[in-house]
């Protein structure tokens, strides 16, 4: 971002799917771009000189995010810049327009303490293809972050699915008519082997009353 916001990129996640609804704009920072920052995002003042200024797109931006749950990687960093730009545009802070703000960096650090939790590291960890990302672009980063967020929260989705849907065993049991099952009786040899095992259990568990199996089967 540098000293000013020079690019904004947002995409919409709805029902755990990325939609076609997005917001993207390059912005004229009206000042020189830090050389180190330029190496990260590849944007130059020459390229941005004819782009709109933040106040020109601010209202459209807040209309896009209004009422939404924002997902941002290292949220405090981005929110600080956006709050400053919104204030200069005569608007309220980001939190006024968003229903909540989720910091995926904080989530990742909680799930993977002591590990690298930058966006590239998370893409690698969760097998999100970022091979086409050579520079930091806001819209591309938003798309990658959406996929990372879905991966970070996949356990919650699985829990909901487990609660909502019967297991394979439950489904199979519902389809089987018990009256039509074939009952296979143990052979004499198998029964003798079973009794031998119970004898060994009786001996080992003598102080605790012997085999629970024989207790349950013995007449009261």
Catalytic residue list: 136
**Selection from 34, 28, 37, 32 nearest residue 6 by Cα:** 28
In the block, residue with structure tokens 């390059």: 26
CA dihedral 96, 97, 103, 104 (to 10 degrees): 170
CA distance 130 to 17: 18
Contact 59, 23 (CB under 8 A): no
11 conformational bin, left if phi > 0, alpha if psi -120 to 50, beta if neither: beta
The three-state secondary structure class of 46 is helix
Q: Which residues contact 167 (CB under 8 A, 6 or more apart)?
A: none
């Amino acid at each position: 971002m540098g000293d000013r916001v020079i690019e904004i990129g947002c995409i919409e996640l709805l029902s755990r799917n990325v939609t076609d609804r997005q917001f993207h704009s390059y912005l004229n920072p009206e000042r020189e771009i830090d050389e180190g920052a330029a190496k990260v995002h590849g944007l130059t003042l020459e390229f941005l000189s004819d782009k709109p200024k933040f106040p020109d797109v601010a209202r459209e931006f807040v209309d896009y995010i209004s009422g939404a749950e924002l997902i941002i990687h290292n949220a405090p960093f981005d929110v600080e810049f956006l709050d400053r730009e919104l204030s200069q545009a005569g608007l309220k802070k980001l939190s006024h327009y968003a229903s909540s703000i989720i910091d995926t960096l904080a989530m990742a650090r909680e799930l993977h303490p002591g590990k690298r939790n930058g966006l590239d590291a998370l893409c690698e960890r969760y097998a999100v293809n970022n091979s086409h990302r050579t520079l930091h672009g806001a819209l591309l980063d938003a798309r990658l972050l959406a996929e990372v967020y879905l991966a970070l929260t996949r356990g919650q989705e699985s829990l909901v699915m487990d609660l909502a849907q019967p297991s394979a065993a439950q489904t199979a049991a519902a389809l089987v008519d018990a009256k039509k099952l074939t009952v296979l009786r143990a052979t004499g040899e198998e029964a003798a082997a079973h009794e031998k095992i119970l004898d060994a259990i009786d001996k080992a568990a003598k102080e605790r009353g012997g085999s629970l199996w024989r207790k349950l089967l013995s007449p009261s």
